[in-house]
């Protein structure tokens, strides 16, 4: 095996490299980075912040509830055998869903539904939540009782 022998030449080379490395790393600018006024006043658009959105008027909300309920009932009874009875039965849940959706309706959703006759994706998501809320108010039918009955002899 060879043993490492430090010579004066290698010692000066290592010392020189160390001094240069410390000097380069130690040099820095004492200036603070300048911020431009345009970036300081510019606000970033947050699509989830609805606090500055246009408010929906009561007239738009009422029109939305009416149109949504008028659209919901025929959609629900489309494949029904007894359309007249089912239309009466679905009128109340459809109105409940429309009123539940109206609570946090945005202006964009209202305009898209009323003027363009399209459902926004956010309305679809809210619809599922509203349908769950409104349909859970009804008492659920009792299921079969599978407990063991005492036998009669």
Cβ atoms within 10 Å, residue 76: 16
pLDDT for 110 equals 83
Residue-wise pLDDT for 59-86, tens only, equals 888 888 888 888 888 888 888 888 888 8
Cβ atoms within 10 Å, residue 23: 9
pLDDT for 3 equals 64
- Contact between residue 110 and residue 56 where contact means Cβ atoms under 8 Å apart: yes
Residue 118 in 3-state DSSP? coil
Question: Model's pTM, two decimal places?
Answer: 0.53
What are the residue boundaries of the structural domains of the chain, listed by start?
Answer: 58-135
Pull the structure tokens for residue 84.
Answer: 């007249």
Residue 42 pLDDT grade (very low, low, confident, very high; cuts 50, 70, 90)? low
Residue 32 pLDDT grade (very low, low, confident, very high; cuts 50, 70, 90)? low
Region class of 117: left (phi > 0), else alpha (psi between -120 and 50), else beta: left
pLDDT for 123 equals 84
Q: What span, in angstroms and rounded, lies between the C-alpha atoms of 31 and 137?
A: 66
Residue 125 in 3-state DSSP? helix
């Amino acid at each position: 095996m060879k043993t490492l022998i430090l010579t004066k030449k290698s010692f000066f080379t290592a010392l020189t490299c160390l001094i240069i490395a410390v000097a380069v790393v130690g040099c820095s600018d004492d200036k603070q980075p300048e911020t431009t006024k345009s970036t300081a006043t510019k606000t970033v658009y947050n699509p989830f912040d609805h606090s500055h959105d246009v408010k929906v008027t009561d007239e738009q909300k009422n029109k939305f509830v009416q149109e949504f309920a008028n659209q919901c009932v025929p959609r629900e009874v489309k494949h029904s055998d007894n359309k007249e009875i089912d239309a009466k039965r679905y009128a109340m849940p459809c109105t409940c869903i429309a009123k539940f959706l109206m609570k946090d309706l945005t202006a964009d959703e209202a305009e898209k539904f009323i003027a363009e006759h399209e459902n926004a994706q956010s309305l679809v998501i809210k619809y599922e939540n509203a349908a769950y809320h409104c349909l859970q108010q009804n008492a659920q039918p009792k299921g079969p009782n599978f407990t063991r009955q005492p036998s009669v002899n």
